[in-house]
Amino acid sequence: MNLTDRIIIVTGGARGIGRAVVSQLLDKGAIVAAIARTSESLEALQRELNSSRLHTFQADVSSEEDVLQLFQNVSSTCGHPHALVNNAGVGIFKPVEEMTADDWDQQLNVNTRGAFLCAREAFRMMKESGGQIVNVASNLGYEVREKASAYCASKWALVGFSKTLNQEGRAYDIRVSTVSPGLVQTDFAGVSASEKSSGLHPDTVARTIVQTLELPDDTGEMEIILNP
């Protein structure tokens, strides 16, 4: 898909992988709707990237009310989306006996429920003319790690959701793919990028996401695992 003038929504678009995706999509000539929970982060993003093709929207993707309003706002401001990158995510890593119900709910609500809500609304808008959804999962959507019970559960669920939604989308020319990175050099789960001695650069992950969006329309579902 040629990304010039394509309307693409990126959740978690103000920092880390999401910010890198937004920047690379703008370089490709796309019209980008970047989503984040705080207005401050979105204002900083707009200042840094300084593009008339960048539109920012504040929303909590785990809130159905916010997501419904978000897609109405994107549609009225930019038009119906051609693609959605579900990138928003949180991680809380603790032994299971120390994990609170709030810790569990936060990860499932953002990583899985949020992806579902956004994908559902994008799917509804794409049914007439097709489109793409890329869900950013994790290598922990395929394997497990100590102290990551809720995070693993959320990402395993996201991978299964992606596969099912892709099957449902075939009749409408909607392709649903997953990009699942391992450790990335971003601030995440209480660990700053400067504390990580190894890991993928966010630009590397973003490039893979953008390349997935650029694949020809006759390409089927992509399922990519990126390990450092």
- For residue 193, pLDDT over 70 is answered with no
pLDDT tens digits along 144-184: 999 999 999 999 999 999 999 999 999 999 999 999 999 99
Helices (H), the chain: 16-27, 39-49, 64-77, 101-108, 115-126, 149-169, 202-214
Paired residues of 191 in beta bridges? 188
Maximum pairwise Cα distance, the chain: 49
Residue ranges and CATH numbers for the domains of the chain are 7-226 (3.40.50.720)
Which are the catalytic amino acids? 151
Please name which of 81, 80, 77, 30 lies closest in space to residue 57, comparing C-alpha atoms.
Answer: 77
Please name which of 81, 72, 58 lies closest in space to residue 11, comparing C-alpha atoms.
Answer: 58
- For residue 195, pLDDT over 80 is answered with no
pLDDT tens digits along 101-121: 999 999 999 999 999 999 999
